[in-house]
Structure 1
Amino acid sequence: MTELEFDYLRAYLKQRSGLALTPEKRYLVESRLTPVCRRFGLATLRDLVGTLKVARDSAIEKAVVEAMTTNETFFFRDRTPFDLFRDVLLPQAMARRAGQRRLRIWCAAASTGQEPYSLAILLQEAGVKLAGWQVEIVATDLSTEVIEKGKLGLYSHFEVQRGLPVQWLLKYFTQIGEQWQIAPSLRSMVDYRPLNLLNGFEALGTFDVIYCRNVLIYFDTPTKADILGRLADRLGPEGALLLGAAETVIGLTDRLSPNPQHRGLYGVAAPVVRAASPVAPPVSQLRVAAR
């Protein structure tokens, strides 16, 4: 793959997914897109670039973008954001929503579903506290392939070992051959939808809690700022946004402010009230005062 071909693929992926690839990521492009070439009968990456330039093959375009999307995830990843949900965010949201008895949670870039299902488990564990409540978890991702896996809720032994306590594995999963499938009651709590964060997401409505973790790190600064501003629009009053440990809103947007007590937690910033400029007295008064 030549430098020109690599530059074309970088620009192509940036336009369609927001992925900002640095020059040292050339090896990643080659390793992930070579299987795409084989799948579509293309001999080299040069042939793939040529096809992308001249043909509008949606299957190839989709395969290229999805191959480059990082889908690393596991149950209760980093643990702290889930303890925070159980101990702080859920009780606060329930207090705010006691009149409506309705909660909405959005997992953006949900990958194969471990994050939304982790939240679903915590909601199930809340038991009678949520009796009579309408709770909706919306899970979105750019990749339709991982969305389908999430809907199925079927995971390998390795996947359920990563972060999932054994008591919850036995309580909420059924073993099917070499795999484990999450309970239908939990699968029904999650509404999976394909979504590119570069596009508008106003139609999703507003949410009490938004998880958008470990995805902004792949975008450049203007893209991060744009997405964060639009995420702020999707937060309801006193709603909460959780980002990954390596992500922040500082220096990117004034629409969101960090929570001083919990790292990675952000809320809609209070509007800045600017003091009115003092009004200068009329010229006639100035003349009187000078006498």
Structure 2
Amino acid sequence: MIPSDYEYLRKFLKERSGLDLSDDKQYLIESRLLPLARKSGLPGIGELVQAIRGGAAPLAGQAVEAMTTNETFFFRDKAPFDHFRELIMPELLRARTSRKSIRIWCAASSTGQEPYSLAMCIKEMGLAMAGFRVEIVATDLSEGVLEKSKAGLYSQFEVQRGLPIQLLVKYFKQSGELWQISPDIRAMVHHRRFNLLHDFTQLGTFDVIFCRNVLIYFDQPTKDNIFRRLAGTIERDGFLVLGAAETVVGLTGAFEPQPERRGVYRPSATQSARLAGKPAAAPQLAALAGI
């Protein structure tokens, strides 16, 4: 790959997805885009770049998807889901006794293991959720991973990664060599293709936002911009959950960390005061799933 093609792809990917590649990531582009080029009948990266420059929109979208990291598994990193069960949901159940509804956003949800893990956590709460309605909005840049998530079909390897055996037996049915998650769990998750570089207001407001292991791929100005918009999308008493390698500290004053709950943040006092006068209306993206 010649330097000018690499520089074009760096700029193209940053504009389209926020992905910020350093000077030494040529190998990453070659490993992920060369198979796409050959699948499209092109001999190499140079011809792929020419096609994208020439306005081949489908190919451009496929290139962005190919460069997106979709690594995920059920109950990934465990601690965020412990915090969800032990801190986040109990507090929200107390705070939402009048409206009886909770909205959760899983940003960069990939093939669905994260939103479905949250849905199973909620189902496992049983009678505590009586009368409450929950909507989990799962968004991702890639249409391909969203389609897999909607189907809820996973291989033996995928269900063995982080999923407790009792939940596999309870919420999955074997279909040939695959496992399909139950319809009632799938009904709790609404899927939508969405780019984190775009306007958040169309999504409405949320009580909980899981935005894990995606900001690490963005540069500082992009992170700052996303945090600012997340602050305008979360309820003033809501929760933001980030990945283990991500933090708001030193980046924004809109959120503050929760003591002894690594990766969990809430709107700061200043941000909460600002949000206090904001209407809490949220557009319904799908029918809320009754628990």
Q: Establish whether TM, by shorter chain, passes 0.5.
A: yes
Match of 1:34 in 2: 34
The structure that has the greater radius of gyration is 1
1:33-182 matches, cutoff 5 A: 33-54=33-54, 56-182=55-181
Q: Distance in 1 between matches of 2:95 and 2:173?
A: 36
SS at match of 1:117: helix
**Distance between the aligned counterparts of 1:271 and 1:37, measured in 2?**
50
**What letter matches 2:111 in structure 1?**
T
Bigger shift: 45-54 or 69-78? 45-54
Please give the alpha-carbon distance, in whole angstroms, between the structure 2 residues aligned to 1:23 and 1:155. 36
Distance (Å, rounded) in 2 between the aligned partners of 1:262 and 1:86: 12
Amino acid at match of 1:19: L
Aligned to 2:267: 268
Aligned-pair distance for 1:260?
Answer: 2.3
Alpha-carbon offset, residue 253 of structure 1: 1.3
The 5 A counterparts of 1:182-221 are: 182-221=181-220
How far did 1:200 drift? 0.5
Q: Within 2, Cα distance between the matches of 1:260 and 1:180? A: 38
CA displacement, residues 112-141 of structure 1 (integer Å, 9 cap, x when unaligned): 000000000011101111122111000000
Cα distance in 1 between the residues matched to 2:196 and 2:62: 18
| TM-superposition CA deviations, 1:2-35 (whole Å, max 9, x none) | 1111111111100000000112211010010011
Cα displacement string for residues 188-244 of structure 1 (whole angstroms, at most 9, x for unaligned residues): 000000000000111111111110000000000000010011011111121000000
1:12 matched to which residue of 2? 12
Q: Give the whole-Å Cα distance in 2 for the aligned partners of 1:207 and 1:255.
A: 16
Q: What stretches of structure 2 of length at least 5 have no aligned partner? A: 272-291
- Aligned Cα RMSD in Å? 0.9
Distance 1:95 1:191 in 2: 25
The whole-number CA distance in structure 2 between the counterparts of 1:35 and 1:156 is 23
What is the rounded CA distance, in whole Å, between the counterparts of 1:240 and 1:22 in structure 2? Answer: 32
- Give the drift of 1:261: 2.6
CA distance in 2, matches of 1:171, 1:134: 21
Name the residue aligned to 1:241. 240
> What CA distance in whole angstroms lies between the structure 2 residues aligned with 1:66 and 1:128?
41
Moved over 2 A (4+): none
Which residue identity does 1:244 align to in structure 2? G
Q: Distance in 1 between matches of 2:183 and 2:38?
A: 37
Shift of 1:257: 1.4
Shift of residue 52 of structure 1? Answer: 1.2
Q: 1:258, CA displacement in angstroms? A: 1.4
TM-score when normalising by structure 1? 0.92
